[in-house]
Amino acid sequence: MDLKTAEQRVHELHRLLNQYNHEYYVLDKPSVSDAEYDELMRELQALELEFPQVKTTDSPSLRIGGEPLEAFVKVQHTIPMLSLGNAFNEDDLRDFDRKVRQAVGENVSYVCELKIDGLAVSLRYENGVFIQGATRGDGTTGEDITANLKTIRSIPLKLQKPFTLEVRGEAFMPKRSFEALNKAREEQEEEPFANPRNAAAGSLRQLDPRIAASRNLDIFLYSIADLGETGVISHRDGLDLLDELGFKTNHERQHCKTIEEVIQYVEGWVGKRPDLPYDIDGIVIKVDSLQQQEELGFTAKSPRWAVAYKFPAEEVTTILRDIELSVGRTGVITPTAILDPVRVAGTTVKRASLHNEDLIREKDIKIGDHVVIKKAGDIIPEVVNVLEDMRTGTETEFKMPTECPACDSELVRIEGEVALRCVNPKCPAQIREGLIHFVSRNAMNIDGLGEKVITQLFQEQLIKDVADLYFLEREQLLSLERMGEKSVDNLLQAIEQSKENSLEKLLFGLGIRHVGAKAAKTIAQEFGTMDQLVQVQNHELEAINEIGEKMADAIVTYFDNEEVLELIEKLKRAEVNMEYKGPKRIKLDEVDSYFAGKTIVLTGKLEQLGRNEAKEKIEMLGGKVTGSVSKKTDLVVAGEDAGSKLTKAQELGIEIWDEEQLVKELTR
């Protein structure tokens, strides 16, 4: 066979295999036998081996899994992957509906979808070809898992139409695949996975795509992140378009015209949940109209136009055998119940937080009690109540200690707080917890530095503070258990890479009381550098809207500590970045810019700037860039091939610029 004939046959094999994949994994209506499919796949692989130049990035043969990767590459989400707010009962749903109608009026409807219990992923297509898939990560930065996602056969490698877009979905492990996987692991004397969600997440984070391919994962797509010029005006339309393009969506969804219909849909699935061939942990409710979604907007963490209803937690009975104490990074002493192992919501539970001494007294919890436990939001185990009628008289009362279990320092209860606290800054438990926080995803995000490795490093006295991480040597790490050369090299690379993080990551990682990730970014934007921040005064902090008196006091007190200043100097010597790298914080009353305080929509192709660069420049000048045109839009910038958004702007009488006008205003 010559090359031309091979190319023609490969093209035909692509068409057939993609068609059979779609019929089997998406439509659940196979038209050929497994043997016939396998024969065609073997023919394709043989041709690709004989003629390597015919193998393309969307070849069906990639679903088998390629060569192992050395590490996952970080991916910046151009559109953040935000989490959803939660509703736990009918009152929460009605409250969500009330807030929506107050904002957009009474003419509102919803789309209800099953909340798949898996791993959120983002898929990017260019001209209809799958080019990149990423995990959600922290919502802003994820990991490139393209090779693993290509092994999921319900993900089309090529769309029915040559669209350029980004879609979002939930990858999951069906119950049947989960049972088969755990059976195989038990036969090989390996630890079984706790639940399908953990199994799916672990499979997609394998460096060897062949392992992911063997796990038989699946996916449901639930939204188009960047609608582009699709002409979609409602969430329902978006789901229908996903179906047309060849994606797999969940058809148990329902359009509801009132909150009463939403509640009826939710109640109907509480009982039917166990009968599904995959796990769900709730129902997602979304406003259907995309224009209304735009008007409702977002909070810092989640969209105001969607909510996740969480199913009532499963409750089980077990025996509380003991109460252990742990010391958090801020010195708070937390009691934890040690339980007889019991299955709850798909996992084996052995421990449950008791939060503080007051809760133990309030619930009259004693060691030896029969207790009812549940998982709050299907995640965190907690003790609901004690079964007093099952007491035998052998139960013993628990008393909180007066000294820290880690360093023997006297415990104190700060006025207005319920928790006991160790205030010794040298407490080893607090230092260890602070190190774990420093390397966590929302802080410095150092891959490979999990709790076990941090504990090893701390116990071996290789690190005493967070700055010591940046002075670790290769030989020191190789001396640790289960740390091979490849793992050590990857870890050192991750540590080195974290030096380039923007200031807000470092600020959050330092663990200043009351300063969360959002506040850290606000502060970093305002002051720009660590040198400015260490000199800041209370009144300067309190002048920022988001900063209250308590947080301002905590920040000033933190930087007034000589040991903290020495730590920062040590981090500087390690060449850790001390400056904010993101868009500057804009004070609208001080900005001499056309864009300040205005809402702008970019549509069509921008030749000179590109959409992301234009968005960043506009936001630096105080503007807000959104994805759809509404009556609140102040300006539409129309590039080449601008479509429905331009038409809508014309209908609403909104000011319209071309790219040349935009560039001129940005550079004046």
317-332 confidence digits (pLDDT tens): 999 999 999 998 888 9
Q: Is residue 627 predicted with pLDDT exceeding 80?
A: no
Alpha-carbon torsion (212, 215, 216, 222), positive or negative: negative
pLDDT at 480 over 80: yes
- Domain coordinates of the chain in residue numbers? 3-55, 85-310, 315-400, 428-573, 591-667
64-87 pLDDT per residue, tens:
655 666 678 888 888 888 889 889
pLDDT single digits (tens) 411-462: 888 777 778 889 887 899 999 999 999 999 889 999 888 888 999 999 899 9
pLDDT per position as a tens digit, 84-98: 988 989 999 999 999
Whether 379 shows a pLDDT value over 70: the answer reads no
- Residue 436 · residue 415 · CB < 8 Å: no
- Check whether domain 3-55 has CATH 1.10.287.610, yes or no: yes
Q: Is residue 131 a contact partner of residue 125, using CB atoms and an 8 Å limit?
A: yes
pLDDT value at position 398?
95
As a whole number of angstroms, the distance between CA 158 and CA 38 comes to 20
Q: Is pLDDT of 346 > 80?
A: no
Measured CA angle at 129 (ends 124, 135), to 5 deg? 25
Q: Is it the case that residue 376 has pLDDT exceeding 80? A: no
According to CATH, the topology of domain 428-573 is DNA polymerase; domain 1 (1.10.150)
What is the reported pLDDT for 586? 58
- Specify whether the backbone of 105 is left (phi greater than 0), alpha (psi in -120 to 50) or beta: left
pLDDT at residue number 68: 61
Residues across the chain = 668
Tell me if 315-400 shares its fold with 591-667.
no
DSSP 8-state code for residue 332: B
Query: Rounded mean pLDDT of the chain?
Result: 88
Q: Which residues are catalytic?
A: 115
Fold of 591-667: Rossmann fold (3.40.50)
Angle made by CA atoms 171, 175, 177, in degrees to the nearest 5: 80
Q: What is the pTM of this model?
A: 0.56
Query: Strands 165-172, 119-126: parallel, antiparallel or unpaired by DSSP?
Result: antiparallel
**pLDDT of residue 514 exceeding 90:** no
Q: Which CATH superfamily is domain 85-310 in?
A: DNA ligase/mRNA capping enzyme (3.30.470.30)
pLDDT, one tens digit per residue, over 35-59 is: 788 788 888 888 888 888 888 877 8
Band (544; pLDDT cuts 50, 70, 90):
confident
**For position 584, what pLDDT does the model report?**
66
Please, what's the b/e burial string for 300-333 (b: 16 or more CB within 10 A of its CB; e: otherwise)? eebbbbbbbbbbebeebebebeebebebbbbbbb
Among the listed residues 43, 280, 319, 63, the one whose alpha carbon sits nearest the alpha carbon of residue 174: 280
Q: Report CA dihedral (233, 238, 240, 242) to the nearest 10 degrees.
A: 150
pLDDT at 21 over 90: no
Residues 213-254: tens digit of each pLDDT: 889 999 999 999 876 667 788 999 999 999 999 999 999 999
Tens-digit pLDDT profile for residues 273-319: 888 999 898 999 999 999 899 889 887 678 999 999 988 877 899 99
CATH of domain 315-400: 2.40.50.140
Structure tokens at 17: 């295999």
| 232: Cβ contacts below 8 Å, ≥ 6 apart | 224, 238, 241, 290
